[in-house]
Amino acid sequence: MKTLINGLHHVTTLAGDTQRNVDYYTDIMGLRLVKKTVNFDAPDVYHLYYGNETGSPGTILTFFPYGNLPRGRKGVGQLTYTAFSAPIAAISFWMDRLHERNIPYAGPYKRFSETYVRFEDFDGMGIELVFTDDDQRPGWDNGRIPAEYAVRGFHTVTLNELNPDRTIKLLTETMQHTLVGEEEGRFRFTAGKGGSGNFVDVLHSPKDVHALQGAGSVHHVAFSTDSDETQLIIHEQLAEGGYHVTPVQDRNYFNSIYFREPGGILFEIATNPPGFAVDEPVVELGTALKLPPQYEPRRAKIEAELPVISLK
């Protein structure tokens, strides 16, 4: 069977203040700002991409920072926690780092035999660090965090579901995921080669409140596919399954289709190519504002209205 879904591609979240968002993810988390562009549907708002050195699929966390945006609320029908992986030897380093930066955290806890800690960013976005030596991806060596302690990319995303059965059916029957674990109402699935960056946890949450979108809320989760061809195949299969799938959207760095899974969470299928080096070399990623072609004639106005970003 042809591989259509490899695992996670990116997670996109709403945020408040732009500079605080940049500071949190580049300074505290040690991610690289790999692309500075705008919301294709609202060019007066940044779209910021963070990841590893090249912004590889499975490492990319993106944000729409809207400024004075009220906080959202975690609950069912939402991706509530995005987990990154880090080496086991980095547990003390990260606990010390969070304490030094006055970031409250909970844990360490155990889940599926792995140790993790849980905390939030400045807007309340749920983050976890899972400590594992199974992830061999290189971390981003930014001079602030030793490479041997740096995060490697995503480990897992957690989907809180009121009635998980139809979501599980979608993941296993259409999106090529396999159940690999079950623990206290949490069902873990993996796709592609498996391992960190390819896990999806479906958490049965019958007593949770319904989520409200706002700052700190995940807007959508994107899954990786190899090419335009594989994307069109999965598009056809989803449409045949009764899902309302958008036409293909050109996002400059990947092509995308979107649909809502049965629990209401927005899913995206994103192609791996062309990647973030398509319009600037790897060594310069994230240094200049990149606009989609339709907005280039308005560059001066857009740049004048966007807040200035500084990197520490």
The predicted-structure confidence for 232-284, as pLDDT tens digits, reads as follows 999 999 999 999 999 999 999 999 999 999 999 999 999 999 999 999 999 99
Does the domain spanning 7-305 belong to CATH 3.40.50.720?
no
Find, among 151, 101, 157, the residue nearest to 131 by Cα. 151
pLDDT band for position 229 (cuts 50, 70, 90): very high
Interior angle at CA 291, CA 285 and CA 296, nearest 5: 140
**What are the strands, taking DSSP E only, across the chain?**
7-15, 32-39, 42-51, 60-65, 78-86, 105-111, 114-120, 126-131, 153-161, 178-183, 186-190, 199-204, 218-225, 249-250, 255-260, 266-271
Residue 173 gets which letter from DSSP?
I
Tell me the two tokens of residue 135. Answer: 């992830």
Question: What pLDDT score was predicted for residue 179?
Answer: 98
pLDDT band for position 176 (cuts 50, 70, 90): very high
pLDDT band for position 99 (cuts 50, 70, 90): very high
CA-derived radius of gyration, the chain: 18
| Of 10-14, 57-61, 142-146, minimum mean pLDDT range | 142-146
Domain locations in the chain? Answer: 7-305
- Tell me the pLDDT of the chain averaged across its residues: 96
Question: What pLDDT score was predicted for residue 142?
Answer: 84
Give mean pLDDT, residues 160-178. 97
Q: How many CA atoms lie within 13 A of 106 on its CB side?
A: 8
Sign of CA dihedral 25, 27, 31, 36: positive
Model confidence at 1: pLDDT above 80:
no
**How does pLDDT run across 187-221, given as a tens digit for each residue?**
999 999 999 999 999 999 999 999 999 999 999 99
Question: What pLDDT score was predicted for residue 63?
Answer: 98
Model confidence at 146: pLDDT above 80:
yes
Question: What pLDDT score was predicted for residue 132?
Answer: 96
Report the 10 Å Cβ neighbour count for 262.
17
Give mean pLDDT, residues 142-169. 95
The residues, any chain, with a CB within 8 Å of residue 246's CB and separated by 6 or more, are 257, 258, 259
Do the strands 153-161 and 105-111 form a parallel or antiparallel pair, or are they unpaired?
Answer: unpaired
pLDDT band for position 141 (cuts 50, 70, 90): confident
Question: What pLDDT score was predicted for residue 312?
Answer: 77
Question: What pLDDT score was predicted for residue 241?
Answer: 95
**Predicted model pTM:** 0.96
pLDDT exceeding 90 applies to what percent of the chain? 94
CA separation, residue 81 to residues 58, 76, 229 (Å)? 15, 12, 31
Model confidence at 102: pLDDT above 80:
yes
pLDDT band for position 124 (cuts 50, 70, 90): very high
Question: What pLDDT score was predicted for residue 143?
Answer: 84
CA separation, residue 278 to residues 4, 14, 49 (Å)? 23, 25, 15
